[in-house]
């Protein structure tokens, strides 16, 4: 009795739920490179290359572990181009008695999978993805009846559930749950050597994929020139160990810092591997905890890092599935402006934007504060359509899958859900960027100038954003102070800011 087990490109884990209880003799694993997944948005070339190369390595690893793998390559002339079409063809080839699959990370694909039971004569079992700490029922139970879904309280529950960084009495290590206040230091400006992530020379499998991607996706954004991702679990584990040994100790301190020409700083660059399944989040957190217990890293680093994984990562996933497929359409600020073309080539005089976008196109990577306070902040205060912003983030980052990208972009960064994730919009003037980076000193614009042709666009747009959105945001208690300051301004000053902001916004479409 053969079982067909489709494994998707972000399910590259040996302990996947679809494999639970499966017999190697009686199972066929189906892996499919399909046109629809590579083009439903214009993914960055390096993102496609990472996923296809990791899929091919994982197929070899599974075969080495004794599984029978049926692998459909993108260039296979009979490739139908969709998951559903490939499952149909595999049924013809193998005549399985049943289909067992792990749920995907996107409503779009889940809805397709739900059609399989009607299309095919075989029974279809869609299993929950067990690679997360909080399952769907657990998140629902936590969220049920709460007025506000605060990440901090969810995170404490996840600490209790995993026991991570708890002492023998079940109390948080270091006497408090959260050390975020210690984690907002400006960049160290040359006082500390900056570690670099490992780079992995492509082997033959990855070289073949790089050639395929260069040929088939030449019109997609981004470059393959700097491709250096790990494409197998062993190399991803090497990057995990390297991060813990070389960068974790200062991760907390400089988590929010930004420096010209330094894309990675003390960040881990592990999200691409966590999200496609090469690394396991709990295994990573236990390794980080061990580094703290062995005195190798301070508590603000270990706690700060673990909070991102068992807190934020799990929390945004819970929100994605709880809010449903129409979450992607929300737009409470009614923002309608088109995404400026420079998001795709980095050609702008705003040095902070050119840096964040430039490294994104080169490495398919930017760290959290660049995503939130540079490219996200700009889109928010310029009034860009949040759906267009969401598509851009889904396209350009190697770690982007809808379950994690959408709540971060639409909710946290664009406030398009009206404050479900963020109690106030992450909007700021140039001051914040100047305090957390060295960007402004090399910029065409003047961060100290509030109006006029050389004024930092973030200064103009910040006040214009508050003004434009007063009807929706004016009652937000956390914005009371900026709104009071705006009200105190002379009418003439307000008019100048509005006119300068309008001129700048007009220039974006020219
Ligand atoms: P580190 O700074 O080393 O952080 C450690 C890990 O914590 C990350 O690898 C990641 O797994 C997790 N993490 C940290 N913050 C978050 C968060 N807010 N949500 C979920 N996980 C988090 N992350 C993605 O994995 N995929 C995305 O598509 C994505 N889109 C984003 C879009 C926007 C607008 C914003 C503001 C954030 C987004 N993030 C996304 C969260 C965060 O920016 C990335 O997880 C992080 O930059 C990945 O780099 P790193 O591995 O070096 O992270
Ligand atoms: C993102 C992606 C890409 C670019 N290509 C493939 C592919 O060819 N085959 C595959 O199985 N998965 C791919 N993926 C990942 C899927 O888009 C992802 O599994 C779904 O979005 C569900 O999370
Ligand atoms: Fe960015 Fe403004 Fe600073 Fe230029 S001056 S780098 S636009 S914040």
Nearest CA-CA partner of 129 in 403, 395, 409, 324 = 403
CA 109 – CA 375 distance, rounded (Å): 28
Which residue minimizes the CA distance to atom 6 of ligand 2?
Answer: 37
Ligand 3 center–CA 454 separation, angstroms: 10
Ligand nearest to the CA of 438: 3
Alpha carbon of 98 to those of 3, 25, 103, 253, 351: distances in Å?
A: 5, 15, 16, 51, 55
Please tell me the pTM assigned to this model: 0.98
> Which ligand 2 atom is nearest residue 38's CA?
4
Laid out side by side, the sheet with 124-127 consists of 69-72, 27-32, 3-7, 98-102, 124-127
Pocket test for ligand 2, best of 16, 37, 81 (most atoms within 8 A of CB): 37
3 state SS for 268-303:
CCCHHHHHHCCCCHHHHHHHHHHHHHCCCCCHHHHH
380 lines ligand 1 (CB under 6 A): no
Where does residue 422 rank: exposed (0-12), middle (13-18), buried (19+ CB within 10 A)? middle
Which residue minimizes the CA distance to atom 6 of ligand 3?
Answer: 440
CA 214 – CA 210 distance, rounded (Å): 6
Long-range CB contacts (< 8 A, 24+ apart) of 124-127? 124/98, 124/99, 124/100, 125/98, 125/99, 125/100, 125/101, 126/101, 126/102, 127/17, 127/18, 127/20, 127/100, 127/101, 127/102, 127/103
Give the chain's end-to-end CA distance (angstroms, integer).
63
Ligand 1 center–CA 368 separation, angstroms: 6
236 lines ligand 1 (CB under 6 A): no
> Which ligand 2 atom is nearest residue 34's CA?
8
381 lines ligand 3 (CB under 6 A): no
Q: Label residues 381-401 b or e (16+ Cβ within 10 Å = b).
A: bbbbbbbebbbbbbbbbbbbb
CA 344 – CA 159 distance, rounded (Å): 39
The pLDDT value recorded for residue 189 is 83
Pocket test for ligand 3, best of 382, 456, 461, 508 (most atoms within 8 A of CB): 456
Which residue minimizes the CA distance to atom 1 of ligand 3?
Answer: 352
Segments in the chain below pLDDT 70? 510
CA 462 – CA 234 distance, rounded (Å): 45
Ligand nearest to the CA of 311: 1
CA 287 – CA 292 distance, rounded (Å): 9
399 lines ligand 2 (CB under 6 A): no
The pLDDT value recorded for residue 510 is 60
Ligand 2 center–CA 504 separation, angstroms: 38
Ligand 3 center–CA 458 separation, angstroms: 7
> Which ligand 1 atom is nearest residue 414's CA?
34
Alpha carbon of 510 to those of 221, 342, 376, 489, 507: distances in Å?
A: 21, 12, 21, 31, 5
What are the DSSP calls for 318-356, one per residue?
Answer: HHHHHH-GGGGG--TT---BPPPGGGTT---S-HHHHHH
Ligand nearest to the CA of 394: 1
Lookup result for tokens 């200064």: 459
270 lines ligand 2 (CB under 6 A): no
CA 70 – CA 326 distance, rounded (Å): 35
Contact 44, 398 (CB under 8 A): yes
What is the bridge-based pairing of β-strands 69-72 and 27-32?
A: parallel
Which residue minimizes the CA distance to atom 2 of ligand 3?
Answer: 456
457 lines ligand 3 (CB under 6 A): yes
Ligand 1 center–CA 271 separation, angstroms: 6
Nearest CA-CA partner of 274 in 460, 402, 167, 400 = 400
Ligand nearest to the CA of 377: 1
Task: Give the Cβ contact number of residue 99 at 10 Å.
Answer: 23
CA 509 – CA 505 distance, rounded (Å): 7
Contact 464, 497 (CB under 8 A): yes
The pLDDT value recorded for residue 183 is 82
463 lines ligand 3 (CB under 6 A): no
Q: What is the DSSP letter of 376?
A: I
CA 473 – CA 234 distance, rounded (Å): 48
The pLDDT value recorded for residue 1 is 87
456 lines ligand 1 (CB under 6 A): no
400 lines ligand 1 (CB under 6 A): yes
Ligand nearest to the CA of 410: 1
CA 241 – CA 30 distance, rounded (Å): 31
CA 298 – CA 248 distance, rounded (Å): 9
Alpha carbon of 131 to those of 14, 435, 505: distances in Å?
A: 11, 38, 44
């Amino acid at each position: 009795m053969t079982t067909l087990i489709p494994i998707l490109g972000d399910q590259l884990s040996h302990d996947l739920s679809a494999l639970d209880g499966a017999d190697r003799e009686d199972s066929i694993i189906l892996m499919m490179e399909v046109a629809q997944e590579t083009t439903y948005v214009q993914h960055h070339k390096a993102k496609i290359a990472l996923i296809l190369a990791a899929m091919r390595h994982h197929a070899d690893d599974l075969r080495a572990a004794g599984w029978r793998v049926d692998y459909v390559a993108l260039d296979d002339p009979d490739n139908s181009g969709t998951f559903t079409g490939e499952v149909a063809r595999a049924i013809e080839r193998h005549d399985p008695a049943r289909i067992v699959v792990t749920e995907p990370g996107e409503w779009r694909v889940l809805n397709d999978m739900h059609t399989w039971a009607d299309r095919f004569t075989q029974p279809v079992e869609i299993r929950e993805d067990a690679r997360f700490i909080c399952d769907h029922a657990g998140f629902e139970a936590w969220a049920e009846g709460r007025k506000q879904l605060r990440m901090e309280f969810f995170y404490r529950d996840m600490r209790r559930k995993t026991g991570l960084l708890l002492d023998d009495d079940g109390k948080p290590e270091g006497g408090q749950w959260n050390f975020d206040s210690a984690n907002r230091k400006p960049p160290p400006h040359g006082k500390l050597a900056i570690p670099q992530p490992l780079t992995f020379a492509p082997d033959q499998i990855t070289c073949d994929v790089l050639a395929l991607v260069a040929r088939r996706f030449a019109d997609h954004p981004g470059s393959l020139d700097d491709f250096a991702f790990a494409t197998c679990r062993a190399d991803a584990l090497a990057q995990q160990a390297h991060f813990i040994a070389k960068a974790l100790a200062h991760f907390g301190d400089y988590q929010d810092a930004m420096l010209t020409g330094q894309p990675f700083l003390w960040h881990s660059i592990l999200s691409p591997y966590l999200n496609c399944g090469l690394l396991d989040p709990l295994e990573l957190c236990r390794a980080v905890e061990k580094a703290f217990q062995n005195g190798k890293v301070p508590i603000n680093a270990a706690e700060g890092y673990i909070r991102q994984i068992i807190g934020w990562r799990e929390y945004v996933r819970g929100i994605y599935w709880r809010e449903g497929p129409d979450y992607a359409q929300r737009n409470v600020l009614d923002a309608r402006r088109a995404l400026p073309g420079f998001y795709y080539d980095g050609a702008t005089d705003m040095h902070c934007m050119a840096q964040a976008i430039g490294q994104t196109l080169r490495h398919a990577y930017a760290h959290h504060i660049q995503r939130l306070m540079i490219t996200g902040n700009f889109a928010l205060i310029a009034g860009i359509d949040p759906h267009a912003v969401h598509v851009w983030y889904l396209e350009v980052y190697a770690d982007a899958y809808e379950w994690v990208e959408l709540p971060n972009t639409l909710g946290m960064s664009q406030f398009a859900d009206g404050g479900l994730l963020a109690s106030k919009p992450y909007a700021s003037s140039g001051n914040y960027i100047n305090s957390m980076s060295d960007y402004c000193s090399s910029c065409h614009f003047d961060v100290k100038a509030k109006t006029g042709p050389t004024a930092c666009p973030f200064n103009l747009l910040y006040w214009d954003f508050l003004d434009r959105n007063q009807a929706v945001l004016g009652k937000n208690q956390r914005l009371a102070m900026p709104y009071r300051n705006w009200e105190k301004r002379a009418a003439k000053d307000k008019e100048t800011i509005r006119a300068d902001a309008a001129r700048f916004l007009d220039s974006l479409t020219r």
